[in-house]
Structures are given as structure tokens and as C-alpha cells.
């Protein structure tokens, strides 16, 4: 959060998105509820994010919220024929949930094989 505030103070623009505002549905990912066919999905935000040259992803619950967000974004970008290499996952800015480590790593490996870049805040990528 401190880095985002510093970025804004230096003239950068940060868009904050609040998830989980629909009290009738679970929302792990940023872009859609768990059951998007029944509930809303923020398709405008999804299309906007898919248009950026670089998209940095960080957050709590590596195995749930981060992974769901990545899958939602990757699916949209693949539909549009865009490279997933624009997605940068900041691995030192997320927390694992005990018991889901192996499954999450397999999912992350599959996303990396499709081009998603896994990096940290100390890298230049």
C-alpha cells in the first residue's frame, strides 16, 4: 500500500477496485463472482485490464483470490488473442493458505507455461 501511495504522490494513477460487494455471492477473483452466470461480472474492468501492456497482480490468499483473479484475466486475454506475458504476478506480495500449496503451484505452473510472468518486487520486470 505504501508503494502505491508513493506512486500516486509521484503523479502516477492508481485505480482501486473493491471486490466482494455482492452479499449474495462469494467473490474470490477481482473480476467476477464465483457464479458469474447468476451474478454480475465486471466485464468493463476485465476488458480494460486486458488492454494494458503490463498488469501487476498481488494480494492475499494466493490459492484463492490471486489464483481466481489470474484465471479470470487469463481467460479474457486468451479469448482476445492477447499474450499472457503482460501479466506479472508479484510472488512476494501474497500469502499462501495452508493445505492448498501443491494445487496452487500446479495451477501457477500451468499459467507460467502459457506465458504469465512470476516475479517479485525487487525485479525490474
Q: If we measure between CA atoms, which residue out of 64, 48, 55 comes closest to residue 103?
A: 64
Would you kindly state where each structural domain of the chain is located, as residue ranges? 26-119
Query: What are the C-alpha distances in Å from 61 to residues 52, 53, 83, 116?
Result: 24, 25, 25, 18
Identify whether the C-beta of residue 119 lies closer than 8 Å to the C-beta of residue 92.
Answer: no
**pLDDT confidence of residue 37:** 57
* pLDDT tens over the chain, length 125 residues: 787 788 899 998 887 777 777 677 778 888 888 765 555 677 888 888 888 899 999 888 999 999 999 999 999 899 889 999 999 999 999 988 999 999 999 999 999 999 999 999 888 65
HSE, side-chain direction, 13 A CA sphere, residue 79: 10
| Separation between Cα atoms, residue 50 and residue 35, nearest integer Å | 21
**pLDDT confidence of residue 5:** 87
**pLDDT confidence of residue 40:** 67
Q: If we measure between CA atoms, which residue out of 100, 98, 99, 118 comes closest to residue 108?
A: 118
pTM of the model: 0.83
Amino acid at each position: 500500500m505504501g508503494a502505491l501511495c508513493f506512486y500516486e504522490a509521484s503523479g502516477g494513477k492508481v485505480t482501486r477496485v473493491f471486490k466482494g460487494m455482492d452479499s449474495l455471492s462469494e467473490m474470490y477473483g477481482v473480476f467476477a463472482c464465483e457464479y458469474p452466470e447468476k451474478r454480475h461480472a465486471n466485464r468493463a474492468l476485465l476488458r480494460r485490464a486486458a488492454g494494458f501492456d503490463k498488469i501487476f497482480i498481488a494480494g492475499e490468499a494466493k490459492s484463492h483470490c490471486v489464483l481466481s483473479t489470474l484465471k479470470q484475466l487469463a481467460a479474457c486475454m486468451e479469448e482476445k488473442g492477447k499474450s499472457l506475458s503482460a501479466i506479472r504476478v508479484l510472488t512476494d506480495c501474497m500469502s499462501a493458505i495452508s493445505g492448498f500449496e501443491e494445487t496452487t503451484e500446479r495451477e501457477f505452473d500451468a499459467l507460467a507455461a502459457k506465458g504469465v510472468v512470476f516475479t517479485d518486487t525487487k525485479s525490474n520486470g
